[in-house]
Structure formats: C-alpha cells, structure tokens
Structure 1
Amino acid sequence: MKAQVKWLGEELFLGTSASGHTMVLDANGGNLAPSPLENVLISLGGCSSVDVVSILQKTRQQVDECYVEITGTRVDSVPKLFKDIHLHFVVTGKDIAEKHVERAVSLSADKYCSVALMLAEKVNITHDFEIRNKD
C-alpha cells in the first residue's frame, strides 16, 4: 500500500492514495479541512464501522443505519498524542439483538480493525453502543 502527501501552500496538504483518491488536510487546526489527527479519528471510525456493519449483516440483523461518534482526548505535552479515544456506536434497525451488536463492536475492537489495533499500543480505546429499534 502506498500514498503521497503534497504540500499545497500555507498549511494545506493534499493526500493521494494509490487508488487515486484524494483528500485535503489542514495543519492549521482543521480550519479549511480535517487536520491529520482528526483524520486519525475518522479513519478509526471508518475502519470500525465497516467491521460492525459487516458482522451485523452476517448475523442477519436488519440494520438501517449505523454511525459512530468518536471522542479523542490528547495529552497536554508536545507531541500532543491521543491518550484516550472513545467510540460510541448507534445502530438503528428492526429487531436488532443486543448480543449481536455487542459481539460486532468487540470483534472489531479486539480482532479486525487494523487502525484500532495499531493505535491500541499507545492509546486507551474504549467503546459502547446503543440500539434504536424501528417498529
């Protein structure tokens, strides 16, 4: 896997993946685009969400919507690394079984999500979920 990040000027950078997709990063606290660390949170949420939805679909859960709210807390010293990240999954659908959501979230965190497993060496990652059943 390869990627390239190119400086565009001032504090903007353009990231390009090997597959040709691009994204702008803003080193100035995310004023014009996500900052690199905001992108870490988004990548973690994306990676975990892919796992959770896939696992729930395999268990034949009728998922209509799934999103994750991610909160990161950073240390006060430089470099300002993440010390804690919390993922709160919200799964909406019909007759969603709590045991399946709990299992999907746990499997993602502990076994499948590459981003979470890389970060877990240095960051305390926690997660929870809520289910919103549609009638």
Structure 2
Amino acid sequence: MQVSVSWRGQMAFEGETGSGHRLMLDGPPDLGGDDRGPRPMEMLLLGLGSCSGVDVVHILQRGRHDVSDCVVEVSGERADEPPKVFTKIHLHYRVSGRGLKDSVVRRAVALSAEKYCSASLMLAKAAEITHDFEVIEA
C-alpha cells in the first residue's frame, strides 16, 4: 500500500492514494492552514471509524443479518504536550436494521476491535480504545 501527499501552499497537502483517490488535507489556522480540508489527525480518526465500520457491516452481512445503516462516531483525546498523540479514543456505533439483536452487534464490534480492524489494533498500542453501540430498529 502506498500514498503520496503533495504540498499545495500554506499548510495544505493533496493526498493521492494508491487506488487513485485524491483529497485535500490542511493544517489548523493557527499554524497557517486555510481550512481547505480535514486535519491530518482527523483523518486518523476517520480511517479508524471507517475501518471498523466496514468490519462490523461485513460481519453482520456475512451472518445474513438485515443491516440498513451503520454510523460510527469516533472521539479522541490527545496529549497536552507535543507529540500530541491520541491517549484515549472512543467509538460509538449506531447500527440500524430489522431484527438485529444486541448480542450479534456486540460480537461484530468485538471481532472488529480484537481481530480484524488493523487501524484499531495499531492505535491500541498507543491509546486506550473503548467501544459501545446502540441498535436501532429500522
């Protein structure tokens, strides 16, 4: 896997993924950013949330459960001093579907966190990661 980032002035960088997708990232205004895209540390949380969300949906679909939506809200706390690494991260899953049982969603979240989500397993080496979920009947 490979990506590249190219400086686009001030604190903005255009990222290009090996799969051919492009997006703009930007630093915060207090560092000279112009708000042209998400902050790099926000992208880490987005990557974590989407990596785990893909796992949860895939696990549920593989089990032939009727999933209609999955939203993963990710919040992170960072150290006060540089390097301002994440010290705590919390993922809250809102999974919608027909006839979904808490036990099934709990298992899917646990499998993602403990076995499948590379981003979660990697970040857990540096930060405390917690999870919770709610099931919404659709």
Q: Tell me the TM-score range normalised by the shorter chain.
A: over 0.9
Which amino acid in 1 is paired with 2:10? Answer: E
Structure 2 matches for 1:1-135, cutoff 5 A? Answer: 1-28=1-28, 31-134=35-138
TM-score scaled by structure 2?
0.94
Structure 1 range deviating more: 107-116 or 20-29:
20-29
TM-score scaled by structure 1?
0.96
In the TM superposition, residue 37 of structure 1 has moved relative to its aligned partner by 0.2
Structure-2 separation of matches of 1:123 and 1:101: 24
Contact persistence 1:88–1:128 (CA under 8 A) = yes
Which amino acid in 2 is paired with 1:101? Answer: V
Structure-2 separation of matches of 1:114 and 1:130: 23
Contact persistence 1:61–1:97 (CA under 8 A) = no
Q: Where do 4+ consecutive residues of structure 1 move more than 3 Å?
A: none
Structure-1 separation of matches of 2:119 and 2:58: 16
Contact persistence 1:59–1:100 (CA under 8 A) = no
Structure-2 separation of matches of 1:32 and 1:2: 23
In the TM superposition, residue 23 of structure 1 has moved relative to its aligned partner by 1.1
Secondary structure, aligned partner of 2:49: helix
User: Tell me, which stretches of 5 or more residues in structure 2 are unaligned?
Assistant: none
Q: How many residues of Structure 1 are paired with residues of Structure 2 in the alignment?
A: 134
Which amino acid in 2 is paired with 1:64? Answer: S
In the TM superposition, residue 32 of structure 1 has moved relative to its aligned partner by 2.3
User: Tell me, which stretches of 5 or more residues in structure 1 are unaligned?
Assistant: none
